[in-house]
Amino acid sequence: MPASVLVGVQWGDEGKGKIIDVLTKDADMVVRFQGGNNAGHTVMTGAEKYVLHLIPSGILRKGVPCVIGNGLVVDPVALKKEMDELSGRGIDVSGVQLSNRSHLIMPWHKQLDAFKESQAAPDKKIGTTMRGIGPAYADKASRTGLRGGDMLDLARFETKFRDGVCDYNRIFVPLGAKQLDANAEWKPIFEAAQFLRPYIIDTVQTVNLAARQGKRILLEGAQGAFLDIDHGTYPFVTSSNTTSGGACTGSGLSPRAINQVWGVVKAYTTRVGEGPFPTELKDSMGEFLRQEGGEFGATTGRPRRCGWFDAVSARYSCMVNGVDYLAITKLDVLDKLEEIKICTAYKLNGRTIDYFPADSGELDKIEPVYETFKGWMASTCSARSLDELPINARRYIGLMTELLSAKAGIISVGSGRDQTFKA
């Protein structure tokens, strides 16, 4: 049975965690393939709320192995904490597998993340999650990173760790970065490494074995297409490939193993952090979406910027991701609106364009061209089939799928597991 990839179509926080949890009902393994604990994936099971940062969102379905793939950057202390917290709530984490090829976020990466942001001019700040993501991926690319597998030999790991602290103190402290005390920093890292060692394996082998055995594998993306290091609104992006191509490099599965791509898309648009956002609403409508949609970051608690659905960017995203099926989330957030707008084209320097510009400066100058639709003015949260949706809500979904040239696969009308149905 081939694998399915699920990715965010917009700027992250589309509801990927919820949809992964729903799809895991019919999966044998869930694999995260990029990012780190910059992600915050929310799953509600009844009244219980879980926010997963590093562990795949399939963990709440008992007995499904959850793989932290080679494409991630992993803060060992944060991972231990997440596993401890889940265990404390009665969730079985014995199925967690941590790739020996994953890269480690070390204390100096977090310091450098904060230092670079504090030194950047106001218009150059990215608004990162301050989790050390960029500096850890930079070390990976520079071939100076520490990896999951390094934690297997604690004596050698300690030497590498102390060398890392020394290098950081020597190079960056004179520039104004905070001095790190190797002894104080080592203690929690050592505890985390000791705890994590039994979970560290060659996940490329386990994932490929599962594929060969015909197991149903779900690959869980983090962030969204416009935070992708290649396809996003560079430089206001994260440091990994969040689009579906990243699923292969970040898990070790070959493209042949993947036969289905799910794109999770919000019925409107949000972004957290800095950078271009053509359909952003800085008025009371933006505030309405934020309040109605509970749009506050699951990782940092920051208010999310909100705006209308942007079909131009989402179409680009669906193309790059090869989206077969859309999981349309948060339709219910639009329930009270008399009128809803969709951006169907961009104007740049007075000319209408239908592509997504590569340049952030150009994106800042985009004027969105909107089409206005009648809202449905009725609650959708208890709908459990397309037929139970108001006609205008069905039309809105129809329009989204038409504009994105993808099929509707799942509709979500609330944060609950049951508030989901096949389209």
* DSSP per position, 197-221: GGGEE-HHHHHHHHHHTT--EEEE-
SS3 label, residue 8: strand
Q: Is 13 a catalytic residue?
A: yes
SS3 label, residue 11: coil
Member of 5, 52, 74, 126 binding ligand IMO (CB under 6 A): 126
* DSSP per position, 144-159: ---BGGGGGSHHHHHH
Q: Which is nearer to ligand IMO, 69 or 149 (CB)?
A: 69
By the rule CB under 6 A, 321 interacts with ligand GDP = no
Question: How many residues are present in the chain?
Answer: 423
By the rule CB under 6 A, 329 interacts with ligand GDP = yes
Structure tokens at 103: 């890269």
Q: Which is nearer to ligand GDP, 97 or 419 (CB)?
A: 419
**Closest approach of ligand IMO to the CB of residue 145, in Å:** 16
CB 68 within 8 A of CB 58: no
By the rule CB under 6 A, 127 interacts with ligand IMO = yes
Q: Which is nearer to ligand GDP, 23 or 413 (CB)?
A: 413
Q: Which is nearer to Mg ion, 203 or 223 (CB)?
A: 223
Paired sense of beta strands 73-74 and 48-52, if any: unpaired
| Residue 222 CA, distance from chain mean position | 2
Residue 235: is the preceding peptide bond cis (ω within 30°)?
yes
Q: Is 103 a catalytic residue?
A: no
Instruction: Tell me which of 21, 41, 53, 231 is the catalytic residue.
Output: 41
Per partner kind, with CB cut-offs from 5 to 8 A, the member of ligand GDP, Mg ion, ligand IMO, none near residue 134 is: ligand IMO
* DSSP per position, 236-287: SS-SS--STTHHHHTT---GGGEEEEEEEEESSEEE-SSS--TTB--SHHHH
By the rule CB under 6 A, 38 interacts with ligand IMO = yes
| Sole residue written with tokens 């948060």 | 330
By the rule CB under 6 A, 220 interacts with ligand GDP = no
Query: In the complex, which residue's CB is closest to ligand IMO?
Result: 273
> What is the distance between the alpha carbons of residues 365 and 388, in angstroms, rounded to a whole number?
41
Q: Tell me which stretch binds ligand IMO (CB under 6 A): 131-139, 194-202, 211-219, 411-419.
A: 131-139
Per partner kind, with CB cut-offs from 5 to 8 A, the member of ligand IMO, Mg ion, ligand GDP, none near residue 272 is: ligand IMO
Binding residues for ligand IMO, rule: CB under 6 A, are 8, 12-13, 38-41, 126-129, 131, 133-134, 222-224, 227, 238-239, 272-273, 298
Name the residues annotated as catalytic.
13, 41
Binding residues for Mg ion, rule: CB under 5 A, are 13, 40, 298
Binding residues for ligand GDP, rule: CB under 6 A, are 8, 12-18, 40-42, 44, 294, 298, 329-330, 332-333, 412-415
